[in-house]
């Protein structure tokens, strides 16, 4: 049985990917997380959805000594899916050094361990933020990477370069870089979803918390050069993102990658404005959302959405859910959280 290590497995996208791995593959699955932005009880939620055993390690990837000791005890690892990183655009604007240290030291330690232990299949959680304020939309994987608008986006650009140069120096190492657009929504069972530990920064959890009276949504700017003045994003269901990871893993493990460092956009290809996202939530829930209009938020790009034809072609990946499904699943999850 081949062994897959998932770092950040207790997190939002990591937990949904663990479910897909446990339900749809025969790999031995191990999750590593330090719970800096997640809850250990997420593993209980995963186990309710997927019966297969899930092994877990509580560990900070920035602690190289402990990392080597812990991973050395679990035997040969055949592949790594690396999610563990801080991910808030506004938080990174306030705490750049925290982001550079956490996101890049952890990656460097993990690549070092892979290099020292013959692990040759690696999937990296990257982001559409590497494109910055793109000139032409939709962006393809060949689109130029503009200057990152935030330290968060910069850590993803640097992370991609670290892996790309490592692949150049080590032809037997195979990596896939997955550039997520805006992951939103929750597992269709309603048993798993985004669990912001503090006040969330991302739009969709703020929408659902506002709907239950736990937050107050402000639209950050309606004076952008877009069809309704608010920013455009490519919202993609988290389960579609998780499905792409399983497909990328098979792609690597079966040696289907023509080169040893491949990049894929994971988006629906549909740009949705903030106001349209709010309208979708109101439509599917039948609720009217109260929100204010505020100033633009530092670090935001005006518009970004994907050309996803390469992932469709090479990973045989097709996003299944639209914005209404995403909003409804997010709302169902928020309602279940209220019952806990
Ligand atoms: C979306 C839009 C805000 C909150 C995300 C993730 C990042 C990466 C890229 C994957 C923006 C607006 C938000 C609010 C608002 N994903 N907004 N009021 O910044 O696009 O980045 O996708 O790796 O991890 O953070 O997402 O949800 O914060 O913002 O008006 O209260 O919603 O201005 O236009 P963002 P977001």
Per-residue pLDDT of the chain (340 residues; tens, 9 = 90+): 999 999 999 999 999 999 999 999 999 999 999 999 999 999 999 999 998 999 999 999 999 999 999 999 999 999 999 999 999 888 999 999 999 999 999 999 999 999 999 999 999 999 998 998 889 999 999 999 998 888 999 999 999 999 999 999 999 999 999 999 999 999 999 999 998 888 898 999 999 999 999 999 999 999 999 999 999 999 999 999 999 999 999 999 999 999 999 999 999 999 999 999 999 999 999 999 999 999 999 878 899 999 999 999 999 999 999 999 999 999 999 999 999 8
> If you take atom 7 of ligand 1, which residue's CA is the nearest one?
87
Q: Which tokens hold the place of 224?
A: 């952008």
- 187 CA distance to ligand 1 middle (Å): 20
> Does ligand 1 lie within 6 Å of residue 306's CB atom?
no
- Residue 147's pLDDT is what? 85
- Residue 14's pLDDT is what? 98
User: CA-to-CA distance for 244 and 198, rounded, in angstroms?
Assistant: 28
The position carrying tokens 């550079």 is 100
* Active centre residues (catalytic): 152
- Residue 120's pLDDT is what? 98
> Does ligand 1 lie within 6 Å of residue 234's CB atom?
no
Indicate if the alpha-carbon torsion angle 243, 126, 134, 200 is positive or negative: positive
> Does ligand 1 lie within 6 Å of residue 219's CB atom?
yes
> Does ligand 1 lie within 6 Å of residue 301's CB atom?
no
User: CA-to-CA distance for 97 and 110, rounded, in angstroms?
Assistant: 20
DSSP annotation of 28 reads: E
- Residue 51's pLDDT is what? 82
- 92 CA distance to ligand 1 middle (Å): 13
- 203 CA distance to ligand 1 middle (Å): 6
> If you take atom 26 of ligand 1, which residue's CA is the nearest one?
202
**Which atom of ligand 1 is least distant from the CA of 297?**
33
pTM: 0.96
> If you take atom 17 of ligand 1, which residue's CA is the nearest one?
203
- Residue 88's pLDDT is what? 86
**Which atom of ligand 1 is least distant from the CA of 88?**
25
- 80 CA distance to ligand 1 middle (Å): 27
E strand or H helix at 265: strand 261-266
> If you take atom 23 of ligand 1, which residue's CA is the nearest one?
127
- Residue 230's pLDDT is what? 98
User: CA-to-CA distance for 277 and 324, rounded, in angstroms?
Assistant: 9
CA distances from 79 to 27, 92, 252, 254 (A): 10, 29, 9, 12
Do the strands 232-233 and 272-273 form a parallel or antiparallel pair, or are they unpaired? antiparallel
> Does ligand 1 lie within 6 Å of residue 87's CB atom?
yes
């Amino acid at each position: 049985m081949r062994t897959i290590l998932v770092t950040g497995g207790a997190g939002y996208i990591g937990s949904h990917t663990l479910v897909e791995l446990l339900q749809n593959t025969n790999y031995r699955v191990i999750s590593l997380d330090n719970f800096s932005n997640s809850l250990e009880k997420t593993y209980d939620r995963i186990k309710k959805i997927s019966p297969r055993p899930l092994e877990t390690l509580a560990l900070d990837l920035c602690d190289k000594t402990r990392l080597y000791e812990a991973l050395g005890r679990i035997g040969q690892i055949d592949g790594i899916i690396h999610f563990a990183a801080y991910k808030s655009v506004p938080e990174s604007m306030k705490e750049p050094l925290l982001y550079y240290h956490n996101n890049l030291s952890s990656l460097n330690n993990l690549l070092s361990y892979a290099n020292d232990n013959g692990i040759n299949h690696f999937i990296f959680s990257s982001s559409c933020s590497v494109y910055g304020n793109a000139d032409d939309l939709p962006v393809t994987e060949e689109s130029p990477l503009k200057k990152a608008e935030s330290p968060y986006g910069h850590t993803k650009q640097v992370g991609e370069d670290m892996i790309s140069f490592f692949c150049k120096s080590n032809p037997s190492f195979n990596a896939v870089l997955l550039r997520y657009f805006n992951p939103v929504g929750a597992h269709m069972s309603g048993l798993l979803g985004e669990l912001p530990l503090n006040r969330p920064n991302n739009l969709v959890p703020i929408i659902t918390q506002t709907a239950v009276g736990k937050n107050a949504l402000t639209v950050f700017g309606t004076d952008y050069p877009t069809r309704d003045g608010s920013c455009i994003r490519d919202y993609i269901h988290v389960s579609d993102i998780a499905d792409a990871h399983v497909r990328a893993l098979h792609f690597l493990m079966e040696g289907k990658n023509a080169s040893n460092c491949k990049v894929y956009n994971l988006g629906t290809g549909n740009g949705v404005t903030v106001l349209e996202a709010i309208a979708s939530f109101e439509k599917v829930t039948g609720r009217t959302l109260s929100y204010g209009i505020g100033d633009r938020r530092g670090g935001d790009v005006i518009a970004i959405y994907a050309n996803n034809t390469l992932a469709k072609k090479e990973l045989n990946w097709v996003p299944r859910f639209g914005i209404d499904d995403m909003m409804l699943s997010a709302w169902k999850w928020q309602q279940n959280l209220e019952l806990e």
